[in-house]
Chain A
Amino acid sequence: MTTEAALPGDDPGRLLSNTRELAQRVRKDQRATWFPLLVFAVLTFASIPVRRYSGHHLDCLAVPRVCTVYSDAEFVYWPIALVLAYVAIAAFYIRRSRARGVGTRVLPYAIAGIIIAVALTGVALWEVHNPPVHPLGLNGLAYQLARPEAAIGLALLVLAWAERNRALLLLTLAYLAVVLMPFTFGWVQPSPPWYFYPAVFQGSVLLLGGIGFAVAQRPLWSPAS
């Protein structure tokens, strides 16, 4: 067999560069980054009417004077939507992996996403009855993190690690900065009619990111899909 002989392609430098190229190719073939981003963009936009048309509660502490506004519907909508989204994303990746004949790294992401979503929902429920005394301190940052939008961002960090995707890491950091913007700029909750602005902004970041990745990954996924 000719391949057993010392071919020019067997020189150490060429072997190493060939190895790197193959590893890159497999990583690119495994990625479908656009899909979770578009799913979460849809969920974020769909949360606007849920928030707008559901009843709200106002809980206040006497001393110090701190109030929390929350909607029961959001506590139902987000956990269910997030768990279903992760199941759909895992199913999509696995189906695609079978069609292409290359394994997928989606399971750590889906499992981490569900755990983060459930844990942060629990923290958010606790915080409803224990609002932050200083909304702009470290306590306030924890308050901002215990939100479904932050749960999406934290899980996307896991996907960036699993896919070894630097572009996704940068997008996720930008998204988390947008999610934590109320903390950064010193306002906690916009009042009507501006309540939907953060969701529009956050959903747009995910949508644009999803479209960007879809365009970038299109030549790789279109032939097999």
Chain B
Amino acid sequence: MTGHPANGLDDTVHQRVRLGILTIAREAGRVEFSYLRDNLELTAGNLSQHLGVLESAGLITIEKGYAGKRARTWVTLTKAGQAALAEEVAQLKLLISQIERSGTSLG
């Protein structure tokens, strides 16, 4: 493994929708399925697939329950999820700074 920041990117997290889910869950503390679906502009099936990947990786926990008679699904970020998100953002920033530096040296 080289020191290039692209090698530090986790395939589970380095994906637009899953990064979005983790970001929203971190800011919200606890977020409902429908909020994620609406804000990420996904279908319920597509969102469920991404949630499944993140849950299998231990990055989120999914809790099902009821609010009155309405079924609700709540998503919470785990500590591993917080660490993975922080790592992904740090790697992205590093990658961008490397791209900018190489662009400057070429120019």
A contact residues, range: 20 to 34
Question: Would you call the interface of chain A mostly helix, strand, loop, or mixed?
Answer: helix
Q: How far is the CA of A25 from the CA of B29 in the complex (A)?
A: 14
A19 touches B89 (CB 8 A): yes
Does A184 belong to the interface (CB within 8 Å)?
A: no
A12 touches B92 (CB 8 A): yes
B contact residues, range: 20 to 34
B 28-55 to A, binary, CB cutoff 8 A, 1 in contact else 0: 1111111100010000001001100000
Closest-by-CB residue of A relative to B22 is A19
Q: How far is the CA of A1 from the CA of B31 in the complex (A)?
A: 24
A103 touches B31 (CB 8 A): yes
Residues of B within 8 A of A103 (CB): 28-31
Residues of B within 8 A of A12 (CB): 92, 95-96, 99
Question: Would you call the interface of chain B mostly helix, strand, loop, or mixed?
Answer: helix
Chain A residues 6 to 52 lying within 8 A of chain B, measured CB to CB, are 7, 9-10, 12-13, 15-16, 18-19, 22-23, 25-27, 29-30
Does A166 belong to the interface (CB within 8 Å)?
A: no
Q: How far is the CA of A103 from the CA of B26 in the complex (A)?
A: 10
Q: How far is the CA of A62 from the CA of B20 in the complex (A)?
A: 68
Which residue of the partner chain, among B24, B29, B99, contacts A105 with CB atoms under 8 Å?
A: B29
Q: How far is the CA of A157 from the CA of B39 in the complex (A)?
A: 29
Q: How far is the CA of A18 from the CA of B41 in the complex (A)?
A: 13
Does B19 belong to the interface (CB within 8 Å)?
A: yes
Which residue of the partner chain, among A10, A27, A101, contacts B35 with CB atoms under 8 Å?
A: A101
B89 touches A16 (CB 8 A): yes
B interface residues (Cβ-Cβ under 8 A, vs A): 14-17, 19-20, 23-24, 26-35, 39, 46, 49-50, 67, 72, 89, 92-93, 95-96, 99
A interface residues (Cβ-Cβ under 8 A, vs B): 1, 3-4, 7, 9-10, 12-13, 15-16, 18-19, 22-23, 25-27, 29-30, 98, 100-105
The 4 closest A-B pairs by CB, nearest first: A101-B32, A103-B29, A101-B35, A26-B27
